Structure 1
Amino acid sequence: MRRAALKSLLVALVARTAGGLLQPPVCFDLDQDVSVDQQVCWELPANYTYELGSLNATIDGRLRTSSPFSLPCFSNYNGISVDRDEQLCSQIQTNYRNHAFRVDSFSSSMNPQYETCIATGSQCLLDWRNPRNPEANNGISCELGGVAEFYIDVHNPGDVQAAYLFAAKTNTPLSIKNTGHDFMGRSHRRGSLGLWTHNLDAMTYHPAFTPESCDDSGSFRAITVGAGVTFDQVYKFAHDNDVLFIGGYSQSVGVSGGWLMGGGHGVLSPVFGLGVDRVLQIKIVTPDGEYRTANACQNPDLFWALRGGGGGTFGVVLESTHLVEPNIPIQIANISYNPAPAQQREFFEILVNDSVRWAGLGWGGHANRRGLVYMNPLLSPTEAQESMGNMTAFARSHGGSVNFNTLPWYDFFERYITEEQAPVGTLVTLGSRLIPKANFQTEAGRAQLVELLIKQSAALGFPNIIPLAGTPMSRLGVPGETSVTPKWRSALWHLVTTAWWNYNSTLEEIRGTYGRVHDMVQEMRKVAGPDSGVYMNEGDVYETNHEEAYWGENYARLVQVKRKYDPLGLLACWNCIGSQGAAAFPCYPRLDV
């Protein structure tokens, strides 16, 4: 019934708007940002409250009112005195930077600036460096910031269909969240109705899975996961079923969300491919009200778009099914070092000079200021140690440590990931570039890369270098098979730069931090080439020409698919396909002031 009602409304609205995009019904006071109009406002319909009540009844009471993640630590909310909850506040302070604790809250983000409206200063933050710092909350008013005021705890396709109907009738934008592990902040949007898929946590192991309507395509060992399942959950589930799931590097990343739809890289991708290379089937509710199965045999255009076009824009994914591998042993190279500035050049030269050879051998991993952790599912222990000879000699000569292990993936994950994964609860922005293999194949190209790394270290600290992690050198895929930028297939490094700020930083200081990252990404772009491409989930928030950087030649086709399944533009997010432009997202500060 909900689907039929939505279809009837869509027909009427498409005729009324002639295919134009609806605008979000929100009002923002932007008096702290003199670079834009003092207020951006769209009126809510007169029957908004009635429609909210009707929506809640339709979805069996699963409409929720949100509040800021850190509200229990404050005694003032939106200018009104409230009682602090000392017990809950203490839990929040203790777990402010804990992945699992944040995942269970709709209002939280792994990077809390996206809980705020940065451009207006509306926020409710603790001091991430010291969450018990009383200056962060004593006498400070807590505000909802950039979080949706209402959200649906999604349990089934009908919940999503009801949300689409509500959005179309009331002109309300929608936002989609599973875990909130999103460096772009796309899972929160002020003034939207949130769709929270966190509780879709079912997992199924298939010894022989055949995608629906693909009876002649063979069968595969696979795992199906609900949209709320995280990598720490699926890795344990796969291990218990004696298989290997190829995925991301952080515990709290959702398997079926933006990670997958934006490409999905990991440290085993050099051998086994990106997440988009391994997904066999996706079940999704598209904005036209249909609950669809997308695979190679059903809705293949949508399946193509979902494998690289990005999350939050083509529909609400409820589950996905992924190819798995035998639970093979993996060689681990854990090389620790603390190079002084005088030694950085030598380290960078080894890293640059050996990367092509390592790629051919199947190594994947990352290097940062704490050390180098690489893994390889192809080599023997002896071969692994021999292939890392130059780096181990460097580490030992400068007082470092070298350890080689042979471990199942899950044991490696438990032993190493908690220390090496991206931190949460911090106010951090990042930018990145895919560095083509061609840059490593000439003496001049290698020298230019070394100079870039030295410059990056001086400007923003030691870079986070992810050589091979996510660049599928051994699993190149079929050209045009997925919608990620084709530059993934010719890249050797995924190079990342980061910068932080404080809970009490001014708008000018925050702009400056974003600006420094943007400027460093421009330096990367000069070295890698203007068309070198970017991993969209870890790109610069203010990426220059993001359409070309994220999707390249695939962009025009992605726009066509978007218009087919979402003719009214009910789904939009920052720098996504059909994003509606910066004016629709006024909580992001402008840099050009």
Structure 2
Amino acid sequence: MHLLGLAATAATYLLLPGATADPLPFERIQLHERDIASLGKASSLLSFGDAPVADPATSHRRAPPTGCKVFPGDKKWPADKAWSNFNNTLNGALIKTVPLAAPCYAGPNYDANRCSYVTANWANSSLHEMDPASVMTGLYQGHTCQIPSNPDDTCTLGGLPSYVVNATTVKQVQLAVNFARNADIRLIVRNTGHDFSGKSGGAGSLSIWTHNLNAIEYVPRFEDQKQGYSGPAFRGGSGVIGRDLFKAAGDKGLLVIGGEGQDVGILGGYLQNGGHSPMSSVYGLAADQVLSISLVTADGRFLTASSTENTDLFWALRGGGASTWGVVTSVTVRAHPSMPISTAQFIFTAKSSAAFWLGVRSYWERFIPYADAGTYSYFMIIPGAPAPTFIMLGFWAPNMTTTETTALLTPWLDDLSALDISVKPAYATYPTTYPALIATWPQEAVQDNAIIGSRLFPRSAWEAPNSETFNKTWEAWSTTNNLLISFNIRAPNALGVDNAVLPAWRETVLHTMQGSGFAPNADDATKRAVRQALTVSMANWKAATPGAGAYIGESDAEEVGWQESFFGKNYDRLLKIKNKYDRDGVFWAKQAVGSECMAVQSNGPIPDENGKLCRVK
């Protein structure tokens, strides 16, 4: 469905030096002062806000107008008539949220056929992607409307938004931002719902669904003299998902930098968080590729951030975190020549835990030469007895043949054989990047009853094999007893850009997550114990990697010292920019820049998004 729409709307044009990209078709429909003036009494909820402050260094964040954001049931919650009027100004784009699993519960939404379909596909991320409100981390929604074992159970919104704006124009985005700000309602921005920390939802909120802002245009020559770039580019809406942009680039003999998750939005939060990619060891992170960004800011106005316009915001948007700066509507990114890709995939275990970890250590010792060769590997270690299981989801080797990839892996595989560990790699070679992406990487999983933490392990730990630092790092990583999801990766600043990417990314050779779960019916004490155990294990990782950091896009929702972990030395500068463009905290997300002043009132063993958003006293 998406590909047909893209084929119908794709355009080709040339950008000359100093030119600014024309708005995408949906961006040409904008809100103007005259539109607001024509609304009469309704204009008070839809008017533009104050302009950004001139000097953020001398300004301070203004306190929220009330102690908490206005919540359903509060006296100030907009009346049904106000919501109806708002919907009219949106041309019917306002959706009153109905949980995805509601057809499985007794009541007005019950639908046996729909329930069967939802139940069969609940673990499929595409099901949640196409819903206007569903999130792929049900834990942070509060599990208030999951697939039921008893249809007479209750189904409530929990951490889902109260209303969703199905945005198809910039004007609708502007109206939604203005309405939420003027009504003092929590505002959420969501594309596909892929978020490990619950940022795609929030109780009592108005959500802007960007999924249908999905046009793509090809730019044969984009020239940005300040960034020193002259070459092909793609401009796409913030609702574009990975596989669609990969296909558009592949059709031109090009590649764009995106994640291995094909159904993840590629031009929204993924990019704003930094965005690692199978091509990162060659070209760096997704944030490094950006040439311009168009967005609606907290005052409701539409602007462009680039190397020559709103340059402070341009810097912050590229790595400074999502749900913070505004609603991105489109992004222009560099494109690179496609190249052949060689891959390997395999699984192994061992007869003993000792042999297994010796085999994994042989791999660990090769992280620097593998990453320096331009490869990227995505692997998992699943706890088990008598030994864990290692799954190489993809050893990705750009511009290599199968012979070259085999030669690179053989010394490690020989070590495994010497440990009596049997491995039978499946090798494949692809002439270009696009078919390799589609064939290699699995669909993103729906995360439910699990919590994760992550860390970027620095290259310095590997530079002296068998040193105290090396052994301490290995011990901290290999003794967690949790599920390990890891990436051997480099993320150099290969393009020489200046952005807000966490500096620790430039020094890493391992981005790794650990996860711990519990049964769906686990009691609060069990959940608290799991949470505490993960906190302790993460503390061990931090102690072994002082001064490193963590990737905010795949991280612990309860990260201790998140400002340092996610943003490092950039945090103070980012906070000043936040105070310039959003002093009132219109855009708020947990662990986002400037989020310290407010918190969700959650009383569960695992903090969720089910309560009011209130000022921290």
What secondary structure sits across from 1:322 in the alignment? strand
- Decide which moves more: 272-281 or 327-336: 327-336
What secondary structure sits across from 2:428 in the alignment? strand
In structure 1, give the amino acid aligned to 2:182.
K
Instruction: Count matched residues.
Output: 546
1:66 maps to 2:66: no
For residues 114-153 of structure 1, the aligned pairs below 5 Å read 114-116=140-142, 123-126=144-147, 136-153=149-166
Distance 2:380 2:232 in 1: 35
What percent identity do the matched residue pairs reach? 28
1:424 maps to 2:446: yes
Distance 2:562 2:187 in 1: 22
In structure 2, give the amino acid aligned to 1:568.
D
For residues 536-575 of structure 1, the aligned pairs below 5 Å read 536-575=552-591
Match of 2:488 in 1: 467
Check the 8 A contact 2:71/2:185 in 1, yes or no.
Answer: no
Task: Tell me the CA shift for residue 45 of structure 1.
Answer: 1.6
Distance 2:282 2:77 in 1: 56
In structure 2, give the amino acid aligned to 1:57.
N
For residues 178-197 of structure 1, the aligned pairs below 5 Å read 178-197=191-210
What secondary structure sits across from 1:221 in the alignment? strand
Distance 1:63 1:138 in 2: 28
Distance 2:52 2:184 in 1: 11
C-alpha distance 9-200 of structure 1, shift in aligned 2 (>3 A)? closer
Task: Tell me the CA shift for residue 587 of structure 1.
Answer: 7.0
Distance 2:63 2:91 in 1: 32
Distance 2:223 2:344 in 1: 37
- Decide which moves more: 236-245 or 501-510: 501-510
2:478 aligns with one of 449, 454, 457:
454
In structure 2, give the amino acid aligned to 1:25.
K
Distance 2:324 2:416 in 1: 46
1:25 maps to 2:45: no
Task: Tell me the CA shift for residue 528 of structure 1.
Answer: 1.0
Distance 1:495 1:253 in 2: 19
In structure 2, give the amino acid aligned to 1:93.
T
In structure 2, give the amino acid aligned to 1:439.
A
Check the 8 A contact 2:485/2:514 in 1, yes or no.
Answer: yes
Check the 8 A contact 1:200/1:227 in 2, yes or no.
Answer: yes
For residues 122-271 of structure 1, the aligned pairs below 5 Å read 123-126=144-147, 136-210=149-223, 219-271=230-282
Match of 2:360 in 1: 348
Match of 2:612 in 1: none
Structure 1: state its 5+ residue gaps. 29-41, 76-80, 117-121, 127-133
For residues 2-81 of structure 1, the aligned pairs below 5 Å read 2=31, 4=33, 10-11=49-50, 19-23=62-66, 24-26=68-70, 43-45=74-76, 47-75=78-106, 81=107
After superposition, give the CA deviation of every residue in 1:316-344 in whole Å (9 maximum; x if it has no partner).
01111111111210121323322341322
For residues 154-553 of structure 1, the aligned pairs below 5 Å read 154-210=167-223, 219-340=230-351, 341-369=353-381, 370-372=390-392, 373-396=394-417, 397-407=420-430, 408-418=432-442, 421-424=443-446, 426-442=448-464, 443-444=466-467, 445-456=469-480, 459-461=481-483, 463-468=484-489, 471-473=490-492, 475-476=493-494, 478=496, 481-529=498-546, 531-553=547-569
Q: TM-score, normalised by structure 2?
A: 0.83
In structure 2, give the amino acid aligned to 1:74.
Y
Check the 8 A contact 1:248/1:264 in 2, yes or no.
Answer: yes
C-alpha distance 100-47 of structure 1, shift in aligned 2 (>3 A)? closer
In structure 1, give the amino acid aligned to 2:80.
T
In structure 2, give the amino acid aligned to 1:296.
S
What secondary structure sits across from 1:517 in the alignment? helix
Task: Tell me the CA shift for residue 477 of structure 1.
Answer: 5.2
What secondary structure sits across from 2:259 in the alignment? coil
- Decide which moves more: 270-279 or 376-385: 376-385
What secondary structure sits across from 2:534 in the alignment? helix
C-alpha distance 13-218 of structure 1, shift in aligned 2 (>3 A)? closer
Distance 2:79 2:549 in 1: 43
Distance 2:31 2:218 in 1: 32
Check the 8 A contact 1:44/1:170 in 2, yes or no.
Answer: no
Task: Tell me the CA shift for residue 183 of structure 1.
Answer: 0.1
Task: Tell me the CA shift for residue 84 of structure 1.
Answer: 2.4
Distance 2:450 2:413 in 1: 32
In structure 2, give the amino acid aligned to 1:10.
G
Check the 8 A contact 1:392/1:402 in 2, yes or no.
Answer: no
C-alpha distance 399-317 of structure 1, shift in aligned 2 (>3 A)? same
Task: Tell me the CA shift for residue 569 of structure 1.
Answer: 1.2
C-alpha distance 307-177 of structure 1, shift in aligned 2 (>3 A)? same
C-alpha distance 394-48 of structure 1, shift in aligned 2 (>3 A)? farther
Match of 1:90 in 2: 116
Task: Tell me the CA shift for residue 107 of structure 1.
Answer: 2.3
What secondary structure sits across from 2:588 in the alignment? coil
C-alpha distance 364-11 of structure 1, shift in aligned 2 (>3 A)? closer
Distance 1:95 1:8 in 2: 42
In structure 2, give the amino acid aligned to 1:355.
F
1:584 maps to 2:600: yes
Q: TM-score, normalised by structure 1?
A: 0.86
Task: Tell me the CA shift for residue 532 of structure 1.
Answer: 0.6
Task: Tell me the CA shift for residue 273 of structure 1.
Answer: 0.5
What secondary structure sits across from 2:533 in the alignment? helix
Check the 8 A contact 2:125/2:444 in 1, yes or no.
Answer: no
Distance 2:506 2:229 in 1: 26
After superposition, give the CA deviation of every residue in 1:431-486 in whole Å (9 maximum; x if it has no partner).
10000101111222222233223312xx214x222111xx314x45547x111211
2:136 aligns with one of 94, 100, 110:
110
After superposition, give the CA deviation of every residue in 1:181-217 in whole Å (9 maximum; x if it has no partner).
0001101011111110011111122221246xx6995
Distance 1:380 1:161 in 2: 50
Distance 2:65 2:171 in 1: 22
Task: Tell me the CA shift for residue 489 of structure 1.
Answer: 0.8
Distance 2:289 2:51 in 1: 39
What secondary structure sits across from 1:10 in the alignment? coil
- Decide which moves more: 562-571 or 260-269: 562-571
C-alpha distance 61-328 of structure 1, shift in aligned 2 (>3 A)? same
Task: Tell me the CA shift for residue 578 of structure 1.
Answer: 2.1
- Decide which moves more: 1-10 or 140-149: 1-10
- Decide which moves more: 176-185 or 407-416: 407-416
What secondary structure sits across from 1:342 in the alignment? helix
